[in-house]
Amino acid sequence: MSQSGQAFAQRGGSAGTIPGVAYTIRVTSQPRSGNGLAGAAADAAQSYVGHAVFAANRGRLDIVEGAAEPTLSAGDYILFDTTALVVVHPQTREFTIVRRDSSLNDLDRLNALGVTVTLSDVKVQLDSLGPSDTIAGFPTTHYRMTTAFNMSVEAAAMMQRMGTEAVTDYWVAVVPGLPNNPLLRANGIPGGAGMTGLFRDLERRVDSASARMGKAVTLRSKTVSRLIEGPGSSATVEQTSEVSDVVRRLVDEDLLILPPDYKYRPPPGATADTVLDAGAKWRRPPR
């Protein structure tokens, strides 16, 4: 029985089944080179395999191998739609909500503490490289996005500057029943969805460039990113992802619903959600 099937059985039945799509995604992240503090960050790169289902504008990704510490471990899963990701930890019966604008709130909190974070020399460029490989049975189009910026963090008498550049190759296709979603869209965007959400201008530019790919989803990506913190501190990391085993199937609705007894846990460093039940939306069936 699959991981999702086991979860369904443990839940004791389903409210029903709905037409959807299932797929497997493999993400590999590894340092190419690094030294200093930036190199230490590169050494923490993680890899995982996940089985996903998507139906009625909501999806679920179960981590079946590997991990993306400290956020995800084998046995955890993610619920997602176009606005947010919910990281669910069955072992502790807890969940954390990561909204697309959550990093903007983090930036506001830093500003309130007297910390100023600014970007300069922002570059976002998307090039179309034409028709390419067939992946998971779908002909793809190859795109390459280059993103670069310098960032400075200033607090009292301290200032830290760093620069980053990422080159991402995307192989995208229109997959019936599998509209664009945060997990497939975010693959390869430098820093992930959180980084683009951290700065409105960068997010706007990435969204504008990504719009050229239309409603296609990313079936394969390869990102080579470089972070420079200063003399003697730099790192280069390569991350790849690939989708396979795409099939249409009926999805158990219960798999897309947050269990009623799971408790909300704010992300590290964040204040508790002021909503009475932060997971209320996810405890209801998808629409």
Query: Which whole-number Å values give the CA distances from 175 to 142, 212, 221, 242, in the listed order?
Result: 15, 17, 16, 14
Question: Could you list the residue range(s) of the whole structural domain that residue 205 is in?
Answer: 3-283
CB 164 within 8 A of CB 190: yes
CB-CB contact of 177 with 248 (8 Å): yes
> What span, in angstroms and rounded, lies between the C-alpha atoms of 143 and 216?
11
**Could you report the per-residue pLDDT of 168-190, keeping only the tens digit for each?**
999 999 988 876 666 665 443 44
CA atoms in the 13 A half-sphere facing the CB of 63: 22
Count of the separate structural domains present in the chain: 1
Instruction: Give the pLDDT score at 243.
Output: 93
Instruction: Please report, for the domain that includes residue 122, its CATH number.
Output: 2.50.20.10
Residue 67 has a pLDDT of 78
The segments of the chain whose pLDDT lies below 70 read 1-15, 32-45, 69-70, 99-115, 156-157, 159, 179-199, 230-232, 267-277
pLDDT at 183: 62
pLDDT of residue 26: 93
90 burial level (CB within 10 Å; 0-12, 13-18, 19+): middle
Q: Which two tokens stand for residue 148?
A: 């670069």
Q: Of 80, 153, 63, 171, which Cα lies nearest the Cα of 117?
A: 153
pLDDT at res. 232 = 67
pTM above 0.85, yes or no: no
CB 168 within 8 A of CB 241: no
What is the torsional sign of CA 76, 173, 211, 192? positive
198: number of Cβ within 10 Å = 20
- Identify the pLDDT of residue 52: 93
